[in-house]
Structure formats: structure tokens, C-alpha cells
């Protein structure tokens, strides 16, 4: 059975993605690949230090900087929310100290978060938020809106900027379904609703949002909007920016409510797109209305191999450009040769051996694997699958049975858990992404993968083995996304190792003329590259809007711009 998108998981622990999987999350196949490719003996690799098994208890009072929040500010915040909604205990502060990119987890595991919120405020109703913001303006306190805390770009790092203190504004108490309009096929939620909870509320009425990023089990709807997120099925359902019909932002200078009058409008610039992607720098997204779809009752899976990543890219380009509407799958993933090899090696066994033999018989030695999932009802997914298959075959696709696509669907939320276990055995792993036009796609893919490999090879330990794998995960008429996973034995300073990789990748992306981020957002991680993307004039526009809505600059300092 495919992963259930209504299946909730506990809120992330402070040191990782999810509580440990009983029996461990690493399969025998994964362990074998680690041993063979990276020379990592998992059993022997559990070693002390920053990569040690996370401690059962977070740092205590004495390990942390005391909260900087002034007495007046604390009193004003306490007056803005019900009793108990302002917390300063170490566990709550540490749980809101970081997002989930690998440096965040390493800092957290070491008990040395980059920064700590001076308090965590958890409103119980939307009506409390203006008072919280007013208190922060009055007392010079920075505000970091905090949803699922799943940012992988430093988007929730509690930086105080020019202010005397910083709070994390935990929005997960605001998770109500406010309205479900079946005639309009829209649903209005409070912004703090997490992915599975949102899908459960819709599923009870027979609907889905269809926006399922890998972070789905932790992330919130508000976070999706703030980061201009794209789900794994965005090829079919559209990215979050296409799904939001109305959005409400509470700013330090008052509310901003946009959209909802009509499905489309020519009444000036579409300011929803200023809020979407604003990453908490303009205000707090408190509620939004999203377009919903009937929950699919049927799926078709397809997997094909191509002689190379480039050949596969040509085939999916034809599908996106010359296929009829709906031919492209809802989920479309084309792995490069390295990712395909690692996937097959981890699966292993007789079926994989037969598949390799079959592909060799068709002249494919180093396959690039394409997975597609078509969703809908009745015969529609299968019909669309057949139309797509015709185009793909005409471009050299060789069937690889549907099994790899179904397997992907089952395991689609597992990777972030694997990272926790890999870190524990001294393996550094993380992901990064971009998107490019079709013209630039192959060159960008090559440049970025080469940059990551080069950065990993240039460590103090010399040319240690690593794996750098990539795939296309979002398909458009004019181009596609590129997503990379890099895996290597952790160096003595794994954060420096990570930063070396990230710097090299960012440089390669900018030099390729691609976008610095397709769906992870900017945060602190990509802020230096934003001017290359939108120009100095674009940055000036963002600053002008921020000055207008947040004149004292309390909203999420140090992010985006």
C-alpha cells in the first residue's frame, strides 16, 4: 500500500526528524551499499562525538544562555495570550531553536544551537496574534513564525537582528478547518495545520489538497505558503502558489487579506504573490483558502529506463510539451544514472538482477530510471498512463515494470528519518535543489553534481568516497527541477564539510543561470544569492514592502533579504 498521506507522526524531536524507528530505519540493502560505496560499517560506526546517538534529554537550564527578554516585554507578551502560552523552559526553547537541515541537526545534537528563542509564544486563537505583534513592536522583540519547523534553509533560526530579544511564534495551535466549500472546491484552514491533519480533515469529506512535499508529516500549511513550496505531485496538482485562492497575513501594521473574491482578477498586481514566499519577513500568515480536489480513488504506476539521464530528460520534455493536458503524471521523477544505480543496489535481489539483464539486452548499461504516478478516479489514471507511455516509448523508454514507482510511493516519507540514523553512524547526508530551463537542464545538472563531488573530494581527508545522486522531480513545459542527495563519511567538522558542499553548489547554480531554489526557499542559506536572482531592484522592492508593513523590522530578521 502507498504511504497514507493522512498518517501523522509525532512532532519532531529537538535533535532530528522523528523519534527513532523501532529496529532502525536502515535496510540491509542500504547498509550493504554504505559498506560497499562509502566503506562504512554501520555496526562499528556508532562513535562518540557530535554524531553520537542523540541524548535522551535536551540541554538543561545551565547549558543555555538565559533568555534575554526584558521583564516589560515578557509581561506584555503574557498579557497578549492566555496563561501558559509563553514558555521559557529549556526544552521548549531548544525545540524551537532550529529547522531541519543537517547543520541544524548537528548543532542540536551537540547541544549548541546556533541561536535560541528567548521565549516561545503559542497562541490559541488567531485573534491573539495582533496583540503579540503589538507587544513585540512596543518592546523591540523579533518574531520568528514557527510552523512545523522543517525549514532546511535556516528559515526559522531565531535571530534577533537589531532587537533585544527574539521569540518563536509557534502557530501549531491554530489548526482548525474553518470552512469547506464543496461548490467552490475550496477549504479554509488556520495556517498552523500540519500536513497529515489537513489531509485527514479533507479526506473525511472526500477531498485532498494534493500538496505533499517530503516534509508533509511535519510541515504546516502556513509554512508551505511562506516558503512557496512545491509538493511531490506538483506536476499534477500544482505548487502551493497555484493552490492558494486567498491568504491572510497579520503584519505589525495591521492585517492584509488578499484574494477570495473570484477565481482570477485583473485588479492590479496579484499581491498574494508578495505574501507567498515572504518567509515570515512581512508578517504572520494566519489563515488561507486553498483549492481542493476529489480524493483520488485510483492510481496508475509506471517506470521506464533510458540509456542516460539526458535521454530521459528529452522524453519527459516531449511529454510535458507535446502531450495533451493530463498526459504528464501527477508525480514525475527521473533519476540520473547514479541515483538509479544506488536505488537498484539498495533493493537488490533477484528482481533487480532480472531487470538489469533485461535492460542490458535492450542496450541499456547505465540506466536512468523514470517513475510516474497518475492519480484520479475510474479508468482516468490508466488512460492517461497509456497516452504518456506512447510518447515515452517513442523517445526510447524501456519498461521497467511499475514496481519501482509503487515502491517509491510506499517509501516517500522515509528519507528524513534515514538521515537521523545515518548521522548517528557518522554519515553526512543532505539534499539541495534547483530548477532550470530545458535548454540549461543537462548542463546545470552536470555542473552542480560536479561541484558537489569536487567539494566533497576536497576535504581534509582527501578524496574520500561519496555518492552524489540527482533527479528531476517537477516537470514544467519550459523546464524542470533538479534535486540532489549527497552522502559521504562525516569529517571531523561535518558542518564545515556541509558548508563547503553548499557553497560550491550555490556557486554552480548561479553560474549556470538556474534558480537558487525551486522549493526549499531562501532563509539564511540562499540570501546571498537572491540579488543574482531578482536583481538589486528586486531586492529594493522587497525592502520597500517590508518597511511599509514592518517598519521596525521585527519580522524574522536575517532571512530572505
Footprint (CB under 8 A) of a second copy, residues 317-336:
317, 321-322, 324-326
> At its nearest, how many Å lie between a second copy and the CB of residue 85?
26
From residue 383, how far is each of 255, 379, 388 by CA, in Å? Answer: 46, 6, 9
Nearer to a second copy, 200 or 387 (CB): 387
Q: Within positions 86 to 105, which residues make up the interface with a second copy, using CB under 8 A?
A: none
Q: Which positions ≥6 away from 117 have C-beta within 8 Å?
A: 93, 96, 97, 144, 158, 166, 167, 168
Query: Residue 49 forms beta bridges with which residues?
Result: none
Q: Which positions ≥6 away from 443 have C-beta within 8 Å?
A: 512
Given the residues 207, 224, 483, 484, select the one marked as catalytic.
483
Nearer to a second copy, 122 or 333 (CB): 333
Q: Is 257 in the site for a second copy (CB under 8 A)?
A: yes
476 is catalytic: no
> Any known ligand binding at 284?
yes
Positive or negative, the Cα torsion across 9, 12, 17, 21?
negative
Q: Is 221 in the site for a second copy (CB under 8 A)?
A: no
Q: Is 389 in the site for a second copy (CB under 8 A)?
A: no
Nearer to a second copy, 54 or 323 (CB): 323
Q: Which positions ≥6 away from 379 have C-beta within 8 Å?
A: 298
> At its nearest, how many Å lie between a second copy and the CB of residue 548?
4
Phi, psi of 295 (to 5 degrees): -60, 130
Q: Which of 178, 173, 214, 169 is nearest to 193 (CA)?
A: 173
Q: Is 255 in the site for a second copy (CB under 8 A)?
A: yes
Segment near a second copy (CB under 8 A); pick from 9-17, 74-82, 420-428, 534-542:
534-542
Do 247 and 276 form a contact (C-beta atoms < 8 A)?
A: yes
> At its nearest, how many Å lie between a second copy and the CB of residue 206?
12
Do 248 and 286 form a contact (C-beta atoms < 8 A)?
A: yes
Nearer to a second copy, 167 or 451 (CB): 451
What count of residues does the chain have? 561
Nearer to a second copy, 50 or 521 (CB): 521
Cβ burial of 173 (10 Å; 0-12, 13-18, 19+) is middle
C-alpha distance across the termini of the chain, in Å? 43
> At its nearest, how many Å lie between a second copy and the CB of residue 320?
9
> At its nearest, how many Å lie between a second copy and the CB of residue 185?
5
> Any known ligand binding at 419?
yes
Q: Which of 377, 373, 312 is nearest to 339 (CA)?
A: 312
- CB 226: neighbour CB atoms within 10 A? 31
Nearer to a second copy, 124 or 254 (CB): 254
Q: What is the DSSP letter of 341?
A: H
Q: What is the DSSP letter of 61?
A: G
Nearer to a second copy, 333 or 489 (CB): 333
> At its nearest, how many Å lie between a second copy and the CB of residue 391?
12
> Any known ligand binding at 148?
yes
User: Taking CB under 8 A as the rule, which mask of x and - marks residues 259-288 in contact with a second copy?
Assistant: -xxxxxxxxxxxxxxxxxxxx---------
Q: Count of residues binding a second copy (CB under 8 A)? A: 95
Phi, psi of 184 (to 5 degrees): -85, -10
> Any known ligand binding at 5?
no
Cβ burial of 375 (10 Å; 0-12, 13-18, 19+) is buried
> At its nearest, how many Å lie between a second copy and the CB of residue 547?
7
Q: Is 434 in the site for a second copy (CB under 8 A)?
A: yes
Q: Which positions ≥6 away from 209 have C-beta within 8 Å?
A: 187, 198, 199, 202, 237, 243, 290, 292, 293
- According to the 3-state scheme, what is the secondary structure of 303-344? EEEECCHHHHHHHHHHHHHHCCCCCCCCEEEEECHHHHHHHH
Q: Is 391 in the site for a second copy (CB under 8 A)?
A: no
> At its nearest, how many Å lie between a second copy and the CB of residue 216?
16
Helix (H) or strand (E) holding 218: none
> Distance (Å, rounded) from C-alpha 405 to C-alpha 329?
11
Segment near a second copy (CB under 8 A); pick from 44-52, 351-359, 362-370, 434-442:
434-442
User: Taking CB under 8 A as the rule, which mask of x and - marks residues 178-207 in contact with a second copy?
Assistant: ---x-xxxx---------------------
Segment near a second copy (CB under 8 A); pick from 2-10, 394-402, 486-494, 536-544:
536-544
Three-class DSSP category at 290: strand
> Any known ligand binding at 296?
no
Segment near a second copy (CB under 8 A); pick from 81-89, 126-134, 237-245, 402-410:
237-245
Q: Within positions 446 to 505, which residues make up the interface with a second copy, using CB under 8 A?
A: 474, 476-481
> Distance (Å, rounded) from C-alpha 96 to C-alpha 164?
18
Chosen residue from 32, 68, 203, 241 binding a second copy by CB under 8 A: 241
> Any known ligand binding at 150?
yes
User: Taking CB under 8 A as the rule, which mask of x and - marks residues 5-44 in contact with a second copy?
Assistant: ----------------------------------------
> Distance (Å, rounded) from C-alpha 493 to C-alpha 41?
20
Chosen residue from 60, 82, 411, 535 binding a second copy by CB under 8 A: 535
> Any known ligand binding at 285?
yes
Binding residues for substrate: 419
Residues involved in catalysis: 483
Amino acid at each position: 500500500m502507498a504511504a497514507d498521506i493522512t498518517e501523522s507522526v509525532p512532532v519532531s524531536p529537538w535533535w532530528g526528524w522523528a523519534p527513532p524507528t523501532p529496529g532502525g530505519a536502515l535496510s540491509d540493502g542500504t547498509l550493504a551499499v554504505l559498506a560497499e560505496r562509502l566503506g562504512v560499517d554501520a555496526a562499528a560506526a556508532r562513535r562518540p562525538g557530535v554524531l553520537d546517538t542523540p541524548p535522551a534529554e535536551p540541554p538543561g537550564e545551565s547549558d543555555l544562555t538565559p533568555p534575554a527578554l526584558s521583564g516589560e516585554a515578557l509581561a506584555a507578551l503574557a498579557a497578549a495570550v492566555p496563561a501558559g502560552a509563553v514558555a521559557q523552559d529549556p526544552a521548549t526553547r531548544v525545540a524551537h531553536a532550529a529547522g531541519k537541515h543537517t547543520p541544524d541537526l548537528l548543532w542540536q545534537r551537540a547541544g549548541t544551537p546556533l541561536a535560541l528563542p528567548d521565549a516561545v509564544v503559542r497562541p490559541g486563537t488567531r485573534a491573539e496574534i495582533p496583540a503579540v505583534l503589538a507587544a513585540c513592536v512596543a518592546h523591540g522583540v523579533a518574531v520568528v513564525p514557527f510552523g512545523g519547523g522543517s525549514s532546511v534553509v535556516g528559515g526559522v533560526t531565531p535571530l534577533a537582528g537589531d532587537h533585544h530579544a527574539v521569540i518563536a511564534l509557534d502557530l501549531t495551535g491554530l489548526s482548525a478547518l474553518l470552512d469547506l466549500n464543496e461548490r467552490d472546491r475550496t477549504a479554509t484552514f488556520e495556517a498552523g495545520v500540519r500536513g497529515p491533519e489537513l489531509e485527514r480533515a479533507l479526506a473525511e469529506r472526500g477531498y485532498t489538497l494534493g500538496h505533499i512535499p517530503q516534509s508533509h508529516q511535519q510541515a504546516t500549511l502556513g509554512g508551505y505558503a511562506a516558503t512557496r513550496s512545491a509538493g511531490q505531485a506538483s506536476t499534477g496538482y500544482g505548487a502551493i502558489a497555484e493552490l492558494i485562492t486567498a491568504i491572510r497575513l497579520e503584519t505589525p501594521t495591521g492585517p492584509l487579506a488578499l484574494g477570495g473574491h473570484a477565481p482570477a482578477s485583473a485588479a492590479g498586481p496579484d499581491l498574494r504573490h508578495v505574501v507567498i514566499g515572504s518567509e515570515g519577513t512581512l508578517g504572520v500568515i494566519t489563515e488561507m483558502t486553498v483549492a481542493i480536489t476529489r480524493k483520488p480513488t485510483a492510481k496508475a504506476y509506471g517506470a521506464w529506463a533510458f540509456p542516460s539521464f539526458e535521454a530521459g530528460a528529452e522524453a519527459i520534455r516531449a511529454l510535458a510539451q507535446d502531450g495533451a493536458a493530463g498526459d504528464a503524471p501527477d508525480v514525475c521523477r527521473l533519476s540520473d544514472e547514479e541515483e538509479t544505480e544506488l536505488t537498484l543496489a539498495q533493493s537488490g535481489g533477484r528482481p533487480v538482477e532480472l531487470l538489469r539483464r533485461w535492460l542490458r539486452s535492450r542496450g541499456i548499461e547505465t540506466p536512468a530510471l523514470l517513475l510516474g504516478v497518475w492519480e484520479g478516479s475510474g479508468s482516468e489514471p490508466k488512460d492517461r498512463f497509456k497516452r504518456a507511455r506512447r510518447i515515452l516509448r517513442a523517445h526510447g523508454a524501456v519498461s521497467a515494470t511499475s514496481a519501482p514507482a509503487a515502491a517509491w510511493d510506499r517509501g516517500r516519507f522515509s528519507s528524513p528519518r534515514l538521515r537521523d540514523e545515518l548521522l548517528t553512524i557518522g554519515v553526512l547526508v543532505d539534499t539541495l535543489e534547483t530548477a532550470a530551463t530545458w535548454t540549461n537542464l543537462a548542463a546545470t545538472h552536470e555542473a552542480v553534481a560536479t561541484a558537489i563531488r569536487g567539494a566533497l573530494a576536497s576535504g581534509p581527508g582527501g578524496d574520500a568516497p561519496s555518492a552524489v545522486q540527482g533527479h528531476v522531480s517537477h516537470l514544467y513545459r519550459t523546464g524542470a527541477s533538479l534535486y540532489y542527495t549527497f552522502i559521504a563519511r562525516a569529517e571531523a567538522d561535518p558542518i564545515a564539510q556541509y558548508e563547503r558542499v553548499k557553497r560550491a553548489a550555490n556557486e554552480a547554480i548561479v553560474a549556470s543561470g538556474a534558480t537558487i531554489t525551486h522549493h526549499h526557499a531562501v532563509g539564511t542559506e540562499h540570501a546571498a544569492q537572491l540579488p543574482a536572482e531578482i536583481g538589486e531592484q528586486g531586492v529594493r522592492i522587497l525592502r520597500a514592502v517590508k518597511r511599509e508593513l514592518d517598519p521596525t523590522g521585527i519580522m524574522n530578521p536575517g532571512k530572505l533579504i
